[in-house]
A and B are shown apart, each in its own frame.
Chain A
Amino acid sequence: MTSPRTFQVQALSRVEGEGALYVKLEGDRVQHVELNIYEPPRFFESFLRGREIHEVPDITARICGICPVAYQMSACHALEKALGIQLTPEIHTLRRLLYCGEWIESHTLHMHLLHAPDFLGYESGISMAADHKEVVQRGLRLKKIGNRVVETLGGRAIHPINVTVGGFYRAPRRRELQALAADLDWGLQAAIQTLHLVASFDFPDFEQDYQSVSLHHPDQYPMNQGQVVSSSGLAIPAEEYEQHFQERQVKHSTALHSVLLPEEINYLVGPLARINNCFDQLSPTAKREAERCKIEWPLRNNFKSIVARALEVIHAYEEAVQIVKTYHGQPSACRVPFQPREGSGCHATEAPRGLLYHRYRIGDDGLIQEAKIVPPTSQNQGQIEEDLRNFVPQVTQLDDDQATRKCEHMIRNYDPCISCSTHFLELTIER
């Protein structure tokens, strides 16, 4: 009879926000797994009540410093539906450019500074720089360009101030966008180098039967538009999201867990799920380079999410290049005015970490009456725990330290953003 063994990480590192991990083993059998999110709740949905419509993108941005644009995008689109605002093609294009900037910034940070160190055996990107200076520097420059894109359109990289319901406060000037072109051209080539580096990493054998959930749009890689789809054939407008997905509270987490109905199963959102569902919509260079890596899509191993991120970075660079070189919008077409009025609207967009759903009700006084926000990490949380249950048997022969490190690596496959899910990581493994 063996006594139970536990692994725990009391404060997970290289993730955004605060969380812990607890795993209990009986022999080699996993008895219990908990991704414990103790990030203190901040109650955004509650204090949005009574705020003005134009304040919502400024306020929801503060849910997450790493992906503020995503919160602004979902909020704006949901409110625009509630208000019956028809956006101009210019606004749609500029919003895609803004999103490209955020995907680049967020993905390249995660790949080079947070996740690659797991594959190459370092405790951080900073230590990794001692031996792989070129890779880290390339990552930093790739990231910086993403930030520049957000700054150009949004005024600043963290919590942009130029995004509003109905468009942009001030239209970018053509030459401001064109000034980005040379860096974006460099970035596209550098992103290809990073793809081939990460595709050559050693990946654990870990095939899972994921339900990939993402937006899908026939004509574009999903960012702001499209239907919510799943690997098993679900295809619904955002308006039906709440009929198919449900959030639950679990005792060990200040984040709510979300499940796919009717079977109440866990599901996967984020870069891997997006490419699984939307490979055809990737940009030509991303598709060509994906084929050169000799990795077959769809993928069922989320350790390879780093490859998915790399492909999305290529896509984002390529699309950004194309937008800045061809943009001719008139400043007057960058903002659609509106009158506050009663109404409801919901919308989902693709945050760097996956689907982000917002719903609002506006009262007859033009103030927010109700808000609901479902962030990507709370949708992934159930799947992370399920992955851990399936993954831990692979590492039980290791000592506690190494086993714990492997589990943390697995969690980082998700690039979990715990601040978003309200809510970070502590890892305990009990054996």
Chain B
Amino acid sequence: MAPKPKLAVFKFASCDGCQLALLDCEDELLAIAEVVEIAYFLEARTQVLEGPYDVGLVEGSITTPHDAERIRAIRDQCKFLVTIGACATAGGIQALRNWADVGDFVSQVYAHPDYISTLATSTSIAEHVAVDFELRGCPINKAQLVELVSSLVRGRRPKVPTYSVCVECKRRLTVCVAVARGIACLGPVTQAGCGALCPAYHRECFGCYGPKEQPLNLVSLTTHLSRQGADGRHLVNLTRNFNGYAPQFRAASDRLEEDLSS
């Protein structure tokens, strides 16, 4: 029998929610453990098998000098490296520090800022090493995770949609919250994957799957939203959250913020 592919799960600055998605595959977990060797997954097991690994799942963003080193060593150990979630893919909510002075942040929380070692920015894994595939979401969708693992075991590239949340809304026949309720919604520019959850609960999509891959037009969306009366500060906040440091969202919030001050 061919040896089972080795899977490793690594954590950087994060909330653990994306790796938890693997433990949340209650129906599939034991079956997955039969076809792949879960070689390194500290949250779930003590046993650690040495690399190299066939697949590395990386959660979290890079925020310390030590982690910037660690991700390089991990890259060398993994044949196929996948970032899971908004933290790893775009820097996460903790990337809000990138717009502030992190020194101020440290001194707001800690009495002895000198004990804390941190970088000025929270950055995506791809800013440090080459990434082979990314799963979006804050958190990722466990069906996509199962698809990813099973495709990789079969040696094919995983399929995840790259269209927008809008398309998913139409499919599930949700009445558009922007049209019907006048809510500023990022659905048109956000990548699908969640099943258009928020609009189904009568609220805006706030972009937790990040900017969709296909070309998108954030300028025209935000201009349209302001014309409809959305508050400028609100639009900055809406585009600057869990994926705020993804390049397209970043450009949008920066431009909106400039408009605010001019």
Contact = CB atoms under 8 A, between A and B. Distances in A.
Chains A and B form a bound pair: yes
Interface of A: 11-18, 39-47, 51-52, 55, 58-59, 62-66, 68, 109, 113-114, 123-127, 129, 133, 136-137, 140-141, 143-144, 147, 155-159, 161-162, 164, 169-170, 248-249, 251, 254, 256, 367, 408, 419
B45 interface: yes
A51 B21 CA distance: 28
Contacts of B93: 42, 44, 47, 59, 62
Interface in B165-219: 194, 197-198, 200-203, 206, 208
A173 to B, nearest CB: 12
A235 to B, nearest CB: 29
Nearest to A253: B115
B138 A159 contact: yes
16 contacts: A14-B46, A40-B12, A41-B109, A43-B105, A43-B106, A44-B93, A46-B108, A47-B93, A126-B30, A129-B30, A155-B200, A162-B201, A162-B203, A164-B203, A170-B202, A367-B233
A361 to B, nearest CB: 13
A179 to B, nearest CB: 17
Interface in B1-42: 11-21, 23-24, 26-27, 29-30, 33, 38, 42
Nearest to A60: B93
A43 B43 contact: no
B46 A65 contact: no
Given A124-B47, A251-B115, A42 B94 contact: yes
B56 interface: no
Contact of B29 (A51, A123, A140, A367): A140
Given A47-B97, A169-B203, A113 B109 contact: no
Contacts of B111: 248-249
A418 B138 CA distance: 19
Nearest to B29: A140
B156 interface: no
Given A55-B241, A66-B20, A123 B46 contact: yes
B104 interface: yes
Chain B contact patch, size range: 35 or more
A16 B24 contact: no
Given A126-B44, A251-B115, A144 B27 contact: yes
B110 A249 contact: yes
A14 B43 contact: yes
B100 A40 contact: no
Nearest to A114: B44
Given A113-B23, A126-B33, A249-B111, A159 B47 contact: no
Interface string B66-87: 0100000000000000000000
B234 interface: yes
B33 A43 contact: no
Contact of A159 (B11, B17, B97, B200): B17
